[in-house]
Chain A
Amino acid sequence: DTGVSQNPRHKITKRGQNVTFRCDPISEHNRLYWYRQTLGQGPEFLTYFQNEAQLEKSRLLSDRFSAERPKGSFSTLEIQRTEQGDSAMYLCASSSGDRGNEQFFGPGTRLTVL
């Protein structure tokens, strides 16, 4: 069990550019979650997958955000036409649905939009 991994760990981009982040969940975990965290705040839920199906989305996930989990394993989160307000830590978590559905988090991707 290598834990949840996320790439890249840091991303600096200019306003208006598109960025894509990747999350690899713990193997055999069928549930995958994306959260966003800004300085001094707790993480906020963005979206949730069970296997390849996207089952829940937050209103925070504007039209510029899209997430996929094509084969029910890794997931990608893409932000189009980035804005300075998108600067945040993007966290991925996974769970098996067992043991009360405990969620395990990755190290996060820190996005800075200049």
Chain B
Amino acid sequence: KQEVTQIPAALSVPEGENLVLNCSFTDSAIYNLQWFRQDPGKGLTSLLLIQSSQREQTSGRLNASLDKSSGRSTLYIAASQPGDSATYLCAVSWDGSEKLVFGKGTKLTVNP
């Protein structure tokens, strides 16, 4: 069964700290992996997409890496800010399917 797991479920850090969010997935035959941000009661905002042939993607203070062989991805957030507080979701699509399979997310709180 193709599954996505995110640990921890919640994380609280002081402002300015660098942090890493983890995502693991079963079955290495992925097509792509997306990281999203979701604010309470809102839709999803796409942060980064990594295609299966790529190892990492960067956008501003965010860096996402992909290791297919170990079934893992990380989202690195540099110099965290209170505005980064949200739930971060990892989602994977596998070869042969267009659908995204999501983890349950990591709820991040950045304290001023």
- Please give the residue numbers on chain A whose beta carbons come within 8 Å of chain B beta carbons, in ascending order: 4, 6, 31, 33, 35, 40-45, 48, 50, 55-56, 58, 91, 93, 99-108, 110
Contacts and interface: CB of A to CB of B under 8 A. Distances in A.
Interface string B13-55: 0000000000000000001101010000111111001110000
Instruction: Report, as a range, how many residues of chain B touch the other chain.
Output: 20 to 34
A102 B46 contact: yes
Query: Which has the most chain A C-beta neighbours within 10 Å: B36, B45, B97, B100?
Result: B100
B93 A104 contact: no
B64 interface: no
A51 B60 CA distance: 34
B43 A106 contact: yes
A56 B98 contact: yes
A43 B46 contact: no
Of the listed residues B32, B45, B98, B102, the one surrounded by the most CB atoms of chain A closer than 10 A to its CB is B98
5 contacts: A42-B102, A43-B44, A43-B100, A55-B98, A105-B36
Contact of A101 (B31, B103, B104): B31
Given A42-B103, A106-B43, 19 more contacts: A4-B43, A6-B43, A31-B98, A33-B100, A35-B100, A40-B104, A42-B89, A42-B105, A43-B44, A48-B99, A56-B98, A99-B49, A100-B31, A100-B50, A100-B51, A101-B32, A103-B46, A107-B43, A108-B43
Contacts of A50: 98
B108 interface: no
Q: Which 3 A-B pairs have the closest CB atoms?
A: A42-B102, A45-B99, A105-B44
Contacts of A102: 32, 34, 46, 49
A45 B91 CA distance: 11
A105 B41 CA distance: 13
A21 to B, nearest CB: 13
Contacts of A33: 98-100
A88 to B, nearest CB: 13
Interface in B74-112: 89, 91, 93, 97-105
